[in-house]
A and B are shown apart, each in its own frame.
Chain A
Amino acid sequence: MPDTARSGRYSVFAIAREALRQHKGWNRAWASPEPRDRYKVIVVGAGGHGLATAYYLGKNFGITDVAVLDKGWLGGGNTGRNTTIIRSNYLQDPSAAIYDKALKLYEGLSQDLNYNVMFSPRGLIMLAQTEHEVRGYKRTVYANNLQGVSTEWIDAQRLKELVPIINIDGPRYPVLGGLYQERGGTARHDAVAWGYARACSDMGMHIIQNCEVTGVETEGGQVRAVNTSKGRIGCEKLAMVVAGHSSQLAEMAGFRLPIESVALQALVSEPIKPCMDVVVMANTVHGYLSQSDKGEMVIGGGTDHFNNFTQRGSWHHVEETVRALVETFPMIGRLKMLRQWGGIVDMTGDRSPILSTTPVGGVFVNCGWGTGGFKAIPGSGWAMAELVAKGRPGPLAADFGLDRFREGRFIDESVAAGVAH
């Protein structure tokens, strides 16, 4: 495999051309080079956030002397394990800004990357099933309107029209209404990672898989290199974008993070005919549901409540989640479940992410997206690229620094992030 190979532009003409020659002319979507001795920027973690960081470093700042290292395969972390809910109806202003930036970028991402990420703005509803939730979501609607994020409060009747399979008179928690974001939806998780990876590779960046970072070399408080399973690689700047493994990377560089890693799991049913064309989240009973393009019902719930790196999840959470959802969607009681899996998510105390400089010069962290960072990938990459390129945060990242934990300036999203998604 050559050091840099262009993937070639995807288009209807390319398909026609390849159809005529038995599809033998397609190039690999990205190159798999051996690492060079050094790069200007090393990004650790080829999940969505790491790849998007690299992409916007090239696109917005012209920095292409970049390597993205991953200990496994690209997109094999949480990016390839999540339930792909995309929305921007958060409560606090800094969150609304970065999540809505991400949503806007998602809206044009397939064109921008020349790669179909299957973004599907099918609409998203968060059910209000207690009076408390009704008040909470109305408050969020008001906040969103002030932030310029379009969301609305809908009553139970309208909700039933949008989601015919829902049982609004549930036995424990009747549906009282919902917070509706019409622009919300889903995208294909792998395609987001693959699309960014291809675009990065096309810019000449190196994406190096099966390359585990095992140490961070510093000199005079400044980063010099990383040690990896493929040897020492020098760098001027280092971006740590490794989600559930952030504490381990930070420890290599000699600092601690306000992060705890826990397992979050999801499951999917056998595929069925289209029955629900919106995403529905039920935060009180702790479950959420959407239907994939293949027809599977995609289901998620809560996290394990203890530090955990097992990428498995546990049976009783499946039981709890399914029990909750069957109450609200009685028809899914008849479905067989096909697969279940887990990912290790990085939780912060205020349920908001960290985009920050660190005690080590040239080292930057992007983590803490916890149970809900897929939706943020483009906005996070955009903001992180600016942070890495300039060495200080721009407006989108400014409030998400590590110093907020010392200063008590939390961005409390524990309500908006009520259920893991």
Chain B
Amino acid sequence: MLILTCPHCGIQAEETELHNGGEAHLKRVGPDGSDEEFEGYMFARRNPRGVHLERWRHAYGCGKWFIAARCTVTLQVFGTYAAQTTTPPDHIVQAVRAARPDWNPTEEGASE
């Protein structure tokens, strides 16, 4: 059972109260985007075995979106933060690095 703390209301919500919204920090492609850019935005995913930054909605709670840093293999949760950011905040990067020293957040932000 996965338990995430919603940063908006502070509730420790469990999996069934939440809705997963997939990879976070994707850059939206506008009307001028090429077919390749749209394909990348719509479909190409990192799908990592390891640290994943992903969107969640506190669906049965406050209804707000947030982002979780989580390991897809161990289900370890490194932290959660507001969805209104384009890159993971420092305290999250630190928390991940404490467990995974090699983890590189810039690769995360740079998802095409």
Contacts of A260 in B (CB 8 A): 22, 45, 47
Other 16 A-B pairs with CB < 8 A, given A257-B47, A258-B39, A406-B38: A247-B47, A247-B48, A248-B49, A256-B40, A256-B44, A256-B46, A259-B47, A305-B19, A306-B54, A307-B20, A307-B23, A307-B54, A309-B49, A314-B1, A349-B43, A405-B42
Which A residues lie at the B interface, using CB under 8 A?
Answer: 245, 247-248, 256-261, 305-310, 314-316, 349, 405-407
Question: When the two chains form their complex, are residues B45 and A314 in contact, meaning their CB atoms are under 8 A apart?
Answer: no
In whole Å, how far is A198's beta carbon from the nearest beta carbon of chain B?
31
* Contact flag A406-B19 (CB < 8 Å), given A258-B45, A315-B1: no
Assembly CA distance A314 to B15 (angstroms): 10
Assembly CA distance A407 to B42 (angstroms): 12
In whole Å, how far is A186's beta carbon from the nearest beta carbon of chain B?
30
Question: When the two chains form their complex, are residues B75 and A247 in contact, meaning their CB atoms are under 8 A apart?
Answer: no
Cβ-based interface call for B36 (8 A): yes
Which parts of B64-78 form the interface with A (CB within 8 Å)? Answer: 72-75
In whole Å, how far is A92's beta carbon from the nearest beta carbon of chain B?
18
A261 CB contact (under 8 Å) in B20, B23, B40, B47? B47
Assembly CA distance A257 to B75 (angstroms): 23
Question: When the two chains form their complex, are residues A309 and B72 in contact, meaning their CB atoms are under 8 A apart?
Answer: yes
Cβ-based interface call for B85 (8 A): no
Contacts of B73 in A (CB 8 A): 309-310
What are 21 pairs between A and B in contact, CB < 8 Å?
A247-B46, A247-B48, A256-B45, A257-B47, A258-B39, A258-B43, A259-B45, A260-B22, A261-B47, A305-B19, A306-B2, A307-B23, A307-B48, A307-B54, A307-B72, A310-B74, A314-B2, A315-B1, A316-B1, A405-B39, A406-B39
* Contact flag A245-B49 (CB < 8 Å), given A316-B1, A316-B15, A406-B35: yes
Cβ-based interface call for B16 (8 A): yes
Assembly CA distance A305 to B36 (angstroms): 27
Assembly CA distance A259 to B23 (angstroms): 12
Assembly CA distance A261 to B73 (angstroms): 11
Contacts of B40 in A (CB 8 A): 256
Assembly CA distance A268 to B72 (angstroms): 26
* Contact flag A405-B49 (CB < 8 Å), given A306-B54, A307-B54, A315-B1: no
Nearest B-chain residue to A348, judged by Cβ: B43
* Contact flag A405-B54 (CB < 8 Å), given A308-B72, A309-B72, A314-B1: no
Assembly CA distance A405 to B42 (angstroms): 9
* Contact flag A407-B45 (CB < 8 Å), given A305-B19, A316-B16: no
Nearest B-chain residue to A305, judged by Cβ: B20
Cβ-based interface call for B25 (8 A): no
Assembly CA distance A247 to B72 (angstroms): 13
Assembly CA distance A405 to B45 (angstroms): 13
The 4 closest A-B pairs by CB, nearest first: A258-B43, A247-B47, A256-B44, A306-B20
Question: When the two chains form their complex, are residues A307 and B39 in contact, meaning their CB atoms are under 8 A apart?
Answer: no
Assembly CA distance A307 to B48 (angstroms): 8
Nearest A-chain residue to B22, judged by Cβ: A260
Assembly CA distance A299 to B47 (angstroms): 28
* Contact flag A257-B19 (CB < 8 Å), given A307-B72, A316-B1, A406-B39: no
Assembly CA distance A258 to B22 (angstroms): 12
Contacts of B36 in A (CB 8 A): 406
Contacts of B35 in A (CB 8 A): 406-407
Contacts of B2 in A (CB 8 A): 306, 314
